[in-house]
């Protein structure tokens, strides 16, 4: 099928439908944008248009992150005026091919390294009269850039580097000048490559999805635009296709490769009742999936959004590293001047100016965060930015909701109580399952699962009637059968349950959910269902304690007896039961006021206030939309052990950042000291400084 041509857009309409500043320093602003559908969105077209705006000096476009990084002349425009002008840019009438000079202006860092290497070689091979012009030509881009930076920002690490090259040129030490420019170009290329890899690692969690999706409507499979798929649609996915929605399998069997979303290398078998994630690949089989999250609400789309946030948001550790790096620049400058005065030679000053703390301090921390976020994403943990990871490492108190977190949130049949001697407990389960097997509901699925575990006797019935929020009804052997809530059976169907009140109340007191079965106008029995504790909950609690968590609590709206039983079973420090949503938020607030740094783990709508009020919120995979949106960390798999994985990842990341900080300060201080005492030449300082910076960045990347 050929995709329809985009609707022609009048050229006077604004190009951007959204344009939001996300980071601003004097002379530079980063903006998040969204182009009007159907309009040009390529990096070249955007760069050309923005570069034409008054006052813009350069622009870098990242289509994957929908990011514009714009450098501007503060004497000709301001950030506010620039944003206003860009927001009003009209859709271009045409998009000519990029001019050669535009492509050249974009620059190729790798080519710059080769140019600087050729310049360095020329300093040895050319006659002396030609070495000065060659060295000046090689240093000119650096000196020009440093002059602009100095005018905008004052003395920075780039300005120090330019001063070092200038001193070497003044001393006619062309080898030192050319070596410095080469090492700076090589270091910048490596640093940008590493930073770019840390960004692309996150983006690789995504798989492309088709613009069209097969759905079942009226019993017929039709191909519809992806944007028209709604929650509740039955989505059909065949072998080789990428699953386009988050949902639950209604029918079919298949093997699904979930590596892109969860990191599992072995394909997973999926069948009725199993959850599936968008972005995962169907290897074999065919599934009909009940769509629960579509479009921008799917896991893959949320990852894309969080990736975009992570590439711009800064954590406290990042900000502190940048602030310290900037504060140390004047210290380096004073040390260079002092060294020159005491030694009587400018060579020592040139050596000192080669080494500074800026590059490693400013880049290693965000690279470590992004690399850790990539590793977490591969493990089924979606971390919404570096700040969330940082706060998770600080958390010393974990507070858990009960249902769907420490427990499975999936009901199991625990009791089958018959009130008619004609039916055994197993008959009762099979009787209910015969009509419930057509109903896509957790209670129904639990009953059907229980019937499959016993000798499944099927009762033939007529068409099943679904009564929303009540239950199901049908006809078996000419008699009406109803399966559902007490209200449905007693009030709507007029079936008397009073004779069995004692048994019913006992089951209620045990915290169980009851399913009433009426047949032929009589209550023939009830099925009791109960949530079960996750098999890995106890091990997860133990791992959290090993990770430095000092207190673990349970908050639940469930009965006090059930909460006490679970807290005792898992060895929790305390519990609070029979709570309303406001009670959970209040308890979290009280604990925070007492100095606790709280990680709250929940999954329901009623958990959203507590998730928002906690130091860091963690939402389970099957959580309500509002819980997952409110949380700082969202699990992509329904596995409680991922909570401990997230905590351990956060701890390891902050330990790595601290280690890199010590390495940066220690190595650069040693290099500076040696340079100030004349033990290192400018060439030696440049090699050591750039080499150690690249090593520290590679160390920061290893978490990925």
Compute the radius of gyration of the chain from its Cα atoms: 32
Give Cβ neighbours of residue 505 (< 8 Å, ≥ 6 apart). Answer: none
Give Cβ neighbours of residue 377 (< 8 Å, ≥ 6 apart). Answer: 202, 205, 261, 303, 383, 636
DSSP 356: -
Task: Give the number of other CB atoms < 10 A from CB of residue 226.
Answer: 14
Q: How many residues comprise the chain?
A: 704
Of 695, 31, 33, give the one whose Cα is nearest residue 367.
Answer: 695
Statement: the pTM of the whole predicted model exceeds 0.75: no
Residue 553 vs residues 405, 541, 578, 583: alpha-carbon distances, Å = 13, 10, 14, 14
Residues carrying an active site annotation: 401
Local confidence band at 542 (pLDDT 50, 70, 90 cut-offs): very high
Distance CA 687, CA 154 (A): 26
Q: Are 634 and 382 in contact (CB under 8 A)?
A: yes
Residue 214 vs residues 206, 261, 468: alpha-carbon distances, Å = 21, 22, 27
Q: Are 529 and 411 in contact (CB under 8 A)?
A: yes
Distance CA 579, CA 559 (A): 9
Structure confidence at residue 94 (pLDDT): 45
Given a cut of 60, whether residue 497 has pLDDT beyond it is yes
Least confident piece of the model among 187-201, 227-241, 422-436, 543-557: 187-201
Local confidence band at 342 (pLDDT 50, 70, 90 cut-offs): confident
Task: Give the number of other CB atoms < 10 A from CB of residue 353.
Answer: 32
How would you list the strands of the sheet with 465-467, edge to edge? 407-418, 522-533, 513-519, 479-484, 471-476, 465-467
What tens digit of pLDDT does each residue of 256-296 get? 876 555 544 456 788 888 888 877 778 778 899 998 888 76
Local confidence band at 640 (pLDDT 50, 70, 90 cut-offs): very high
Residue 571 vs residues 511, 538, 597: alpha-carbon distances, Å = 20, 8, 20
* Average pLDDT over every residue of 645-674: 85
Summary mean pLDDT of the chain: 76
Q: What is the 3-state secondary structure (H, E, C) of 405-423?
A: HHEEEEEEEEEEEECCCCC
Highest average pLDDT, of 169-178, 229-238, 310-319, 336-345, comes from 229-238
Q: pLDDT > 70: what percent of the chain?
A: 70
What tens digit of pLDDT does each residue of 129-175 get? 777 777 777 777 777 877 776 777 666 656 666 666 676 676 666 66
């Amino acid at each position: 099928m050929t995709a329809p041509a985009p609707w022609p857009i009048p050229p006077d309409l604004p190009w951007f439908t959204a344009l939001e500043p996300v980071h601003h320093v004097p002379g530079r602003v980063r903006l998040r944008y969204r182009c009007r559908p159907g309009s040009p969105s390529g990096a070249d077209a955007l760069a050309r248009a923005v570069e034409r705006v008054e006052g813009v000096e350069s622009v870098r476009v990242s289509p994957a992150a929908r990011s514009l990084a714009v450098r501007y002349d503060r004497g000709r425009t301001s950030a506010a005026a620039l944003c206003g002008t860009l927001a009003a840019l009209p859709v271009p009438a045409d998009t000519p091919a990029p001019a050669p000079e535009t492509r050249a202006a974009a620059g190729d860092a790798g080519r710059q390294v080769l140019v600087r290497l050729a310049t360095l070689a020329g300093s040895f091979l050319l006659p002396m009269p030609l070495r000065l012009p060659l060295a000046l030509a090689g240093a000119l881009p650096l000196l020009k850039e440093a002059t602009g930076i100095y005018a905008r920002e004052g003395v920075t690490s780039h300005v120090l580097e330019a001063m070092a090259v200038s001193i070497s040129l003044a001393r006619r030490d062309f080898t030192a000048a050319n070596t410095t420019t080469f090492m700076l170009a090589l270091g910048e290329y490596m640093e940008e490559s590493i930073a770019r890899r840390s960004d692309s690692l996150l983006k690789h969690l995504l798989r492309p999805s088709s613009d069209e999706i097969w759905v079942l409507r009226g019993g017929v499979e039709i191909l519809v635009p992806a944007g028209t798929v709604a929650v509740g649609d039955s989505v059909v996915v065949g072998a080789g296709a990428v699953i386009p929605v988050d949902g639950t399998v209604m029918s079919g069997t298949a093997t699904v490769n979930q590596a892109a979303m969860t990191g599992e290398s072995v394909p997973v078998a999926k069948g009725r009742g199993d959850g599936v994630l968008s972005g995962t690949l169907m290897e074999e089989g065919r599934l009909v999936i009940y769509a629960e999250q579509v479009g921008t609400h799917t896991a893959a789309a949320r990852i894309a959004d969080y990736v975009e946030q992570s590439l711009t948001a800064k954590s406290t550790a990042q900000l502190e590293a940048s602030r310290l790096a900037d504060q140390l620049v004047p210290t380096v400058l004073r040390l260079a001047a002092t060294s020159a005065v005491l030694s009587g030679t400018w060579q020592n000053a040139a050596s000192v100016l080669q080494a500074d703390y800026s590059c490693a301090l400013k880049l290693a921390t965000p690279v470590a965060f992004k690399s850790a976020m990539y590793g977490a994403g591969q493990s089924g943990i979606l971390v919404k930015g570096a700040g969330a990871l940082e706060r998770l490492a600080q958390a010393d108190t974990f507070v858990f909701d009960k249902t769907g977190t420490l427990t499975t949130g999936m009901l199991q049949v625990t009791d089958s109580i018959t009130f008619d001697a004609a039916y055994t407990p197993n008959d009762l389960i099979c009787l209910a399952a015969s009509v419930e097997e057509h109903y896509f509901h957790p209670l129904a699925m639990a009953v059907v699962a229980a019937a499959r575990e016993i000798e499944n006797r099927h009762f033939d019935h007529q068409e099943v009637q679904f009564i929303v929020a009540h239950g199901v009804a049908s006809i078996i052997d000419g008699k009406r059968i109803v399966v559902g809530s007490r209200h449905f059976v007693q009030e709507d169907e007029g079936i008397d349950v009073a004779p069995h009140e004692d048994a019913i109340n006992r089951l209620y007191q045990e915290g169980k959910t009851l399913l009433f079965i009426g047949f032929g106008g009589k209550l023939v029995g009830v099925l009791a269902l109960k949530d079960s504790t996750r098999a890995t909950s106890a091990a997860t609690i133990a791992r959290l304690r090993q990770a430095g968590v000092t207190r673990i609590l349970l908050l639940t709206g469930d009965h006090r007896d059930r909460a006490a039983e679970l807290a005792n079973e898992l060895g929790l420090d305390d519990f609070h039961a029979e709570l309303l949503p406001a009670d959970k938020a209040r308890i979290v607030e009280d604990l925070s006021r007492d100095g606790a740094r709280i990680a709250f783990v929940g999954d329901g709508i009623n958990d959203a206030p507590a998730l928002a009020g906690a130091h860091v919120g963690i939402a389970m995979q099957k959580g309500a939309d509002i819980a997952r949106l409110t949380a700082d960390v969202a699990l992509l798999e329904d596995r409680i052990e991922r909570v401990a994985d997230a905590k351990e990842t956060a701890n390891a990341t902050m330990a790595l950042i601290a280690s890199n900080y010590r390495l940066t300060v220690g190595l650069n201080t040693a290099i500076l000291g040696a340079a100030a005492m004349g033990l290192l030449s400018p060439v030696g300082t440049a090699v050591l400084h750039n080499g150690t910076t690249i090593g520290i960045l590679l160390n920061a990347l290893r978490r990925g």
